[in-house]
Amino acid sequence: RYRETCASALCEAGDVEEGLQRFGAILRSTADTVNTVRLVTPILLANGFLDEGWHRYRSRADFERIVRHFGHLNLQQSLPPQLMGKHICVVCEQGLGDELFFLRYAPRLKALGARITYCASPKLAVMLQRVAALDAVIGDTAAIPPSDMNMLAGDLPSAVNEQEAPAALSVPANP
């Protein structure tokens, strides 16, 4: 915990490069990376390391909680190699602002050939029915329709980015 605190403090003090290098060393030196990943993820995202930040965002506590509660949905965090004509049901998570934030990736998913059903929070469902990238919008109390795969909205950034341009991910190494 001391090393994580030091790495976080360096990032907060403005020495992001050194802080990320230290986080990288921690991640390479321990098998228990869950807490470290949860600490470094917002730092990566806030400092423009979006591909890696979104990739590491997959380890969020919300995902694990939702999978435990809705295991029958068989939630995926990656897209299949071929999306043309695939039906993907995207399920809302977190708050209304997060829901809208993550939906900005829906047009990119649509452009890859997917048919998208979005399971929306009730407060947004009617409004989202007008979004061209969404083929169908259902309320979060409706039954999830049959689809080729189900995915949480929070996984869209990483999944779409990986589909468009796969890249090696790594926290900057020590010099």
pLDDT at position 115: 95
Please state, in angstroms and as integers, the Cα–Cα distance from residue 46 to each residue in 49, 53, 89, following that order: 8, 9, 28
**From first to last of its 175 residues, what are the pLDDT tens digits of the chain?**
888 888 889 888 998 888 888 888 888 887 667 778 888 888 998 998 888 888 888 888 778 788 877 777 888 888 988 889 999 999 998 889 999 999 999 999 999 999 999 999 999 999 999 999 999 999 888 888 899 999 999 999 989 988 776 444 445 554 4
pLDDT at position 31: 64
pLDDT at position 167: 45
pTM of the model: 0.78
Q: Nearest 5°: phi and psi at 31?
A: -80, -25
pLDDT at position 165: 60
Long-range contacts from 1-9, C-beta under 8 angstroms, 24+ separation? 4/35, 4/36, 4/39, 7/39, 7/40, 8/39, 8/43
pLDDT at position 168: 43
